[in-house]
Amino acid sequence: MADSDFPGWHGTTIIGVKKDGHVVIAGDGQVSLGQTVIKGTARKVRRLSPGGFEIVAGFAGSTADAFTLLERLEAKLEATPGQLARASVELAKDWRTDKYLQKLEAMLIVTDGRDLLVITGAGDVLEPEHNVAAIGSGGNFALAAARAMMDSDKSAEDIARQSMAIAADICVYTNGNLTVETISG
């Protein structure tokens, strides 16, 4: 099968919601190849503890690429303990300039409970507006749903869960098998 004929891996929605001193990152479990669901229970949200500091990370894109990035982020965090923003910028710089890393196809949402950041292969480290970040196939659906709920009395976890449910109802590459991690700032 030629590369141009390969249908490609699709699927994931990751959302990060920061509200009332809590940050929640939630991700669905679907991995699709073309029009086929390959796995519905993948775990794309992880808790890390580099240097003794708690970090929660969610990834969208190629799983192998995301694990490579998570390993690199852990190394950066071990070199700069407790400095998520600095480690994220260092990772983004490497990602942008290293020829091996440039080929990686993934995005990350990371938090230490204080900062909520999106890290991209374009060298971006973004702190989202409105304390909501979303990536992946259903990211825009989840983002819109969460933004609509941010002024409500709902907790960060309730917003994340309901936003993911809405995304799963709309995006065929997103399912309702959630992994949810909460961290306080």
Give the catalytic positions in this structure: 12
Q: DSSP character for 130?
A: G
Tokens at 112, concatenated: 């230490």
Tokens at 20, concatenated: 């009332």
Q: Distance between CA atoms of 95 and 155, rounded to whole angstroms? A: 34
Under 8 Å between Cβ of 171 and 141: yes
**Residue 66 to residues 1, 107, 150: CA-CA distances in angstroms?**
25, 7, 29
What are the DSSP E strand ranges found in 20-96?
A: 22-27, 31-33, 36-39, 45-48, 55-61
Under 8 Å between Cβ of 176 and 28: yes
Under 8 Å between Cβ of 11 and 32: yes
Tokens at 150, concatenated: 């941010």
Our measurement of the distance from residue 36's CA atom to the centroid of its chain's CA atoms, rounded to an integer in Å, reads 22
